[in-house]
Structure 1
Amino acid sequence: MTTLLQDAQPQTLGQRIRTQRKRLGLSVTELARRAGVTRDTLSEWERDGTAPRSNRLLTLAGVMETNIGWLLEGHGECSPQTDPDGEIAALREQLGQARELVHQLSTNLDALQTRVNALESRRSSGS
């Protein structure tokens, strides 16, 4: 026999994500932005269509102010995260992702500039 508390607790990862997001008063779009994913990705997680990878779970737990044990399995309290090391790790992960995006953007900008320069050079020599 289950207790009333167990019956009220969300059973799936997606339900726990949605429950905590609502507790925090965040929209799907805002939580997705904070977690560094698209709105569609977060929606898929909440619908249990897909599940976040382990590095995203760590980030999600930090952003959602909960512990990863509750997020993964529903065990324990859905209380604010008290592990600063976990929060630091989640923030470092986000920093790494942001740096990678900046690197990719810089590479794309350099390639575009090279193409523009080549086209301008051909136009000048053909005139």
Structure 2
Amino acid sequence: MTTLLQEAQPHTLGQRIRTQRKRLGLSTAELARQAGVTRDTLSEWERDATTPRSNRLLTLAGVLGTNIGWLLEGHGQCAPRTDPDTEMAALREQLSHARDLVQQLSTNLDALQTRVNALEQRRAGGA
């Protein structure tokens, strides 16, 4: 049974995510969509079954209108982040992560194309 005091001061990362999501009136599905994860992933975070990676923590802090320190440690108040430099750093990290994903995808596509080309050459040589 959860007491009012426990709800006011969530003790775990998952509890803080859930508490702030509810304060904002977001459903699990909506927060998951805004954070770029599946509903199951968000549910695991809220249950403290898994922990978000740093880039997802940055995204969560932005979507939830709070700061990473509060999400991670519960220190201070759950106040909106007002420091533009912090927000810019978070956005730059997200952009860097997105570029890394694009590079990985490009590498995978090139490898697939090479395999397709090799199979087509083998097929043409044997036909």
Pick the TM interval, shorter chain: 0.7 to 0.9
- Greater shift, 25-34 or 74-83, is seen at 25-34
How many residue pairs get aligned? The number is: 124
Tell me if the contact between 2:55 and 2:94 (Cα under 8 Å) persists in the aligned partners.
no
Q: Which residue of 2 aligns with 1:66?
A: 66
Matched, 1:50 2:73: no
**Ranges in structure 1 where 5+ consecutive residues have no aligned partner:** none
The RMSD of aligned alpha carbons is: 2.4
Letter in 1 for 2:104: Q
Tell me if the contact between 1:58 and 1:86 (Cα under 8 Å) persists in the aligned partners.
no
Deviations 1:77-126 (A, max 9, x none): 21211111221111111111111111111111111111111111111111
Q: By how many angstroms is 1:16 displaced? A: 0.6
TM-score, with length taken from structure 2: 0.78
Alignment of 1:9-24 (within 5 A): 9-24=9-24
Matches of 1:43 and 1:7, distance apart in 2: 18
3-state SS of paired residue (1:77): coil
Tell me if the contact between 2:7 and 2:19 (Cα under 8 Å) persists in the aligned partners.
no
Letter in 2 for 1:77: Q
Do the aligned partners of residues 36 and 100 (structure 1) sit closer, same or farther apart at CA in structure 2, a change above 3 Å counting? farther
Matches of 1:118 and 1:68, distance apart in 2: 49
Matches of 1:84 and 1:116, distance apart in 2: 47
Do the aligned partners of residues 108 and 7 (structure 1) sit closer, same or farther apart at CA in structure 2, a change above 3 Å counting? closer
Deviations 1:57-82 (A, max 9, x none): 33422232102232222232212111
